[in-house]
Amino acid sequence: MVEASESIPSEKVGRLESVKLRILAFGLILVIIAIILLQFFIQLRNPPEMKLPSELRPSWTQNESLVKTMAFWGDVGSIIGGIILIIGLLLVLYGLINRYLEKRIRESEKFDTPLLESFITHLQSDKNFILVFVCTLVFGLLWIFNIMTYPPEGPLYFLRESYLQFYFPDVPLENLPSLSTYGAFAVVQDTAILLIFLYIIYVRLRPGKQLGEDFVNFAMDRTLFLVVLMSTSLYHAIGHLPFELYGRGQWGTGFTTLEAWIAFDKIGHLFASMAITMLLVAIIINQFAKAGARSEGFTLFGLVVAIAFMISLGLAWEIYEWIMNALLAMINAPSHFVDEILDAPKDLLWNAIGAIIGAILAYVDLKRTQPIEINRM
């Protein structure tokens, strides 16, 4: 009887931990949904075509009733998206505090090694840490440079303006900022990447019960994956420099020219798919190894699963882009929809090629190293 009564608190604790984890996951889902909604409705509220000179605007912009309707639903959707975002962030904050940070807040963790000493030690002995640190430093410099060139008030905007004038010679200077490719969205993407890299460095310097520490260490111990990941990230940041590699003509619209198939955006899909697939292969094979399935057949099966998952992930992203552009086509410029139809098949092709190359590279890497055993994934 005593043993049964003592087991009850531990069961309750387990249920509470499960509830906290579900709250965190639900909050993350709400944040993702809110970002998607805001991306759509903000563009609906402020379509970039409205900032063009009147003679360059598409015909639908002359329909005042349609423009007002778009603005109304854009405002309504933005408010709804903002509310969902706030709720999601609160749930994420609650989940993080109660699931991961509660003990650390109540009882501050003491580290035996000072931060600077730990940093110097890793620079002297951890080649993967050096790789991540140097790439993060370069990426951060590119991030700062991009921020200084995007807004018209930025001190280096004149560098971007000259290229925009070249792309759009008939557009007045005051209207050029609205045409800068990706704009703030690109900076948000690069900011998220930079924060992830900084957190990876922090986890390496301050090990011990950090959020996602096992996963970070698992990824950090795979040099080839890190090389591809860092190259992809730097490639992404360089694409948003003032000369606008992601700009006009670099999306690869159409099928008949070589540039349409090897445009900057398409190579970006290739690199990203390679990096993600390499990590997927490592995770899947590692899980097989933990279960005692170490045969060549299981390894090849893991490669197929990783490739299929990556292709499915790319397909899900293209479906999302297609839906957003299809909705815009019904109330906005039809060219959005047409361009996406021409763009998606090539993106999927490059995703598939990147997944296959990534799986091959991961297989070669796994031949050299044993799968790393971890307790939590």
Rounded-to-10 torsion of CA 179, 184, 190, 195: 180
CA 79 from centre of chain: 24
pLDDT tens for 273-283 read: 999 999 898 88
Name the more confident of 99 and 303. 303
CA atoms of 349 and 132, how far apart (whole Å)? 29
Dihedral sign for Cα atoms in the order 199, 149, 239, 127:
negative
Reading the block at residue 350, the tokens are 């490059």
Q: Report if pTM > 0.85.
A: no
Residue 326 is predicted with a pLDDT of 64
DSSP 237-305: HHTTSTT-TTSTT-S--SSSSHHHHS-HHHHHHHHHHHHHHHHHHHHHHHHHHHTT--SHHHHHHHHHH
pLDDT tens for 233-279 read: 998 888 767 655 555 445 445 555 556 666 777 888 899 999 999 98
Going by C-alpha positions, the residue among 311, 316, 230 that lies closest to residue 277 is 311
CB 236 within 8 A of CB 268: yes
HSE-up of 7 (CA within 13 Å, CB side)?
4
CB 219 within 8 A of CB 225: yes
pLDDT tens for 6-31 read: 444 566 666 777 777 788 888 889 98
CB 42 within 8 A of CB 184: no
CA distances, 329 to each of 97, 318, 338 (Å) = 43, 16, 9
Residue 143 is predicted with a pLDDT of 87
pLDDT tens for 127-167 read: 999 999 999 999 999 888 888 877 677 777 777 777 777 76
Most confident of 84-98, 116-130, 361-375: 116-130
CA 129 from centre of chain: 21
pLDDT band at 1 (very low <50, low <70, confident <90, very high): very low
Residue 375 is predicted with a pLDDT of 42
CB 259 within 8 A of CB 252: yes
